[in-house]
Amino acid sequence: MELQEVCIQLEVPLGYREGGRLDTYLARFLSPTSRTKIQQGIREGRVTVNGVIVQKPAYTVQAGDVITLRLLRKPPVELRPEPIPLEVVYEDPYLLVVNKQAGLVVHPARGNRSGTLVNALLHHIGSGPVCFEEEEELPDDETVGLSMVSTGPTETRLEAPRPGIVHRLDKDTTGLMVVAKDDETHAGLARQFEQRTIARTYLALVWGVPNPAQGRIEAPIGRDPRNRQRMAVVPEDKGKRAVTHYEVLEALPAAALVQFRLETGRTHQIRVHAQHIRHPVVGDPIYGGRAIRYGPVTAARKAFYEQLFSRLSRQALHAHTLGFRHPRTGEWLHFSAPLPDDMAWALEKLRCDPL
């Protein structure tokens, strides 16, 4: 992202008698810029006092000084409403529930400001563009129509603004998500996720038939040390606690329809745990699901699965049910979304695997 140069001029009041350091004085006016960054800018010659470059952060500020700064800043963040198709399952003045389609990224991130669920939500609620330069300049909920609480880590908040988003699904995972329209509703939903009182189940097609047919997977998850773009089961001191419950709903010749329930909510949790027990999600391109994992690798089966994967171009994972207590009314709400067409078709095909 190309940085933009901004010039700021400050005039020290004639009544100033504190005799403070230049970096400390500037920090008063440049919040939330850190003092370390201010010192770096001074040393780089980006600050002049009375027209003369000053490169010492400890310079003593005098009454009447004219201080000019040349700052490098990221361009303003702008999120624009986009008419992306959106299946709204439920909506009221405080929240909405959507059935997310495959291929839709949930929230904008660095280098990806368009084509996301957030852009679709802004269009759905009739918002104008969301534009801001600093976290303190975020528009309020009433202006946007969605909660503007940041759900990202502090250091990434400006890189990944997430209006309304309380939780997320992977780009190619389909299914139910709840979205908050105001901060109070957002906080109430986030608290339920934190306390694990949200009821969520997922449906997946996995390779092979897990044995036993019901079980609990507890294995810590962290970044894969061999590939930082992936997650993996790692030693306890390298990852976070992760617990997944599963139940086989239908055994197929070389696969199974499985219901998963999350006890924790780690990135790629179901996909990683499924691979960990050697039953990766069918079609998963990252965790070993796009190759024949059970049964003979014959010409007939190769052709069979080439056809299957031409239609099922993603991991066969779907957020099937979602239940929660409405933060404003106290009512228990529960929703379900049927298997999307590609997974329903794949299920029928897998019942006919030519073993």
Q: Is 170 a catalytic residue?
A: yes
Question: Which of 23, 65, 170, 172 is labelled catalytic?
Answer: 170
The CA distance from 217 to 215, in Å, is 7
pLDDT for res 155: 36
Predicted structure pTM score: 0.78
pLDDT tens string 113-143:
789 999 999 999 988 887 765 444 556 656 6
Residue 158, pLDDT > 70, answer: no
Q: Are strands 130-132 and 88-91 parallel, antiparallel or unpaired?
A: unpaired
Contacts of 5 (CB under 8 A, 6+ apart): 70, 71, 72, 73
Contacts of 178 (CB under 8 A, 6+ apart): 95, 96, 97, 166, 167, 189, 322, 324
In sequence order, which ranges of 60-116 are alpha helices (DSSP H)?
A: none
By three-state DSSP, how is residue 24 classified? helix
CA 26 to chain centre: 35
Domains of the chain: 4-73 (3.10.290.10), 76-195 (3.30.2350.10), 197-355 (3.30.2350.10)
Residue 47, pLDDT > 50, answer: yes
In sequence order, which ranges of the chain are alpha helices (DSSP H)?
A: 22-29, 35-43, 117-124, 141-144, 183-195, 269-276, 299-311, 341-350
The CA distance from 132 to 199, in Å, is 35
